Amino acid sequence: MSLTRRTFTSLALGAPLLGQEKPPAPALTPEEQEGLATIRTFVRFVVAPTTVTDEDGRYVSDIQPHEFRLVDRGKEQKLRVDLAFQPLEIVVCIQANNTVEPVLDKIKQIGPLLENLVLGEKGQAAILAFDHRVRTMQDFTNDGALFKKALAKINAGSTTSAMNDAVVMAARMLRNRPADHRKVVLLIAETRDKGSEAKTRQALLDLQFGNIAVYSVNINRLVTSLLTKAQPPRPDPLPVGARHLPAGALATPETISQQTGIYNGNVVPLAVEILRQVKSIFVDNQLEVFTKFTGGTERSFLTYKDLERVIADIGQELHSQYLISYSPNNTEEGGFHPITVDVLRTGLKVRTRPGYWMAAIPQ
């Protein structure tokens, strides 16, 4: 039996005989101290960034801690409430495929907005661009000059838009950032994924487990469809005389286009986009899923002034939030924990993350 093991046993189980003085414990070398058993207790804290607005949408900043009430899976919790002060860690994911080329120049001007309006004094941001690839244009920094250089290097790429893959990479990057910092993904993209290997469910789980909020700045697909440069025309697979036309109509490329809606072998892109927009009324888009289930919001823009206003509003919200933290009193209940936050005032709107996942911790 080693000296280290003997020492641990005597400390844990030994007791002096009656009437005898307990001998002093021998001094241990650093090597022997490393061999001693160490018992650690882990306490799970949940952080719920919470936004409070009045009926006119103005942020309310005078709520007192005792006015908040949080329920975790049906059980009220003991809270700690602070104004948002933890530094921000943001990954900006920018769609950079051929369809967003008409608005890409506007997006590439957001460097000063990020630096001044969103990050604050100690925040840092990274920039990703995605089409069929996901490229790291700039790792985490708060240097505005580096933001500008990274954004200037973004060019429109392929026809693919791997949004889910970009979100998964952003979540992995944020996983390695300081645990006491708030983590945000800012998505500047259209509302649909096109060509990702990752599924929406996988990306959402990565966000949930990483305590990451998603804010989106939506690019209008109808606008990009009208302004996007047409792809090189494909040859019509059927000869001119092989298509059925009304009696007396001349079989020319122009008349075939008028009758079939096919121009040089390509269906009119705007008509296709209108059909997709109608269908999307009944199907949740990826951006809505990401923002709704992480406590963020969706916004959209058409002009650069709109974009500037939207990013400024996101920055104001992030710096106006209350940070509610607590140690759950129901850790034995594994699975998804839905949470609700209420304020003991009338006429206010409260928004926070809908919940979190937790493995059961035996009592």
For residue 249, what pLDDT band results from cuts at 50, 70 and 90?
low
| 16: pLDDT strictly greater than 70 | no
Res 75: pLDDT = 93
Of all residues in the chain, what percent carry a pLDDT higher than 90?
37
pLDDT for 23 equals: 47
pLDDT value at residue 10: 32
Of 228 and 206, the structure prediction assigns the larger pLDDT to: 206
pLDDT of residue 119: 77
Band of pLDDT at residue 264, cut at 50, 70 and 90: very low
Tell me: pLDDT of 42 over 80. no
3-state secondary structure of 2: coil
313-341 pLDDT, tens digit per residue, is 998 999 889 989 898 988 888 888 899 99
| Count of residues making up the chain | 363
* 82-85 long-range Cβ contacts below 8 angstroms, 24+ apart: 82/322, 82/323, 82/325, 83/321, 83/322, 83/323, 84/49, 84/182, 84/318, 84/319, 84/320, 84/321, 84/322, 84/323, 85/323
- pLDDT value of position 235: 61
Report the mean per-residue pLDDT for the chain: 77
Please check the confidence at residue 348 and state whether its pLDDT lies above 90. yes
Q: How confident is the model at residue 19 (pLDDT cuts 50, 70, 90)?
A: very low
pLDDT for residue 245? 60
Tens digit of pLDDT for each residue in 123-176?
A: 899 999 999 999 999 999 988 899 999 999 999 888 899 999 999 999 999 999
Residue 8 has pLDDT above 50, yes or no: no
Plot region of 154 (φ>0 → left; ψ -120 to 50 → alpha; else → beta):
beta
- In this prediction, residues 27-54 reach a mean pLDDT of 60
Residues 187 and 105 sit within 8 Å (Cβ to Cβ):
no
Taking 50 as the threshold, does the pLDDT of residue 243 lie above it? yes
**pLDDT on residue 87:** 86
The more confidently predicted of residues 221 and 23 is 221
SS3 annotation, 134-198: EEEEEEEECCHHHHHHHHHCCCCCCCCECHHHHHHHHHHHHHCCCCCCEEEEEEEECCCCECCCC
pTM of the model: 0.71
SS3 state of residue 333: coil
Percent of the chain's residues with pLDDT above 70: 69
pLDDT score of 259: 54
User: Do the Cβ atoms of 216 and 291 come closer than 8 Å?
Assistant: yes
Least confident of 14-23, 46-55, 203-212: 14-23
Per-position DSSP letters for 305-319, written without gaps between them: HHHHHHHHHHHHHHT
Per-range mean pLDDT, top range of 31-45, 198-212, 282-296: 198-212
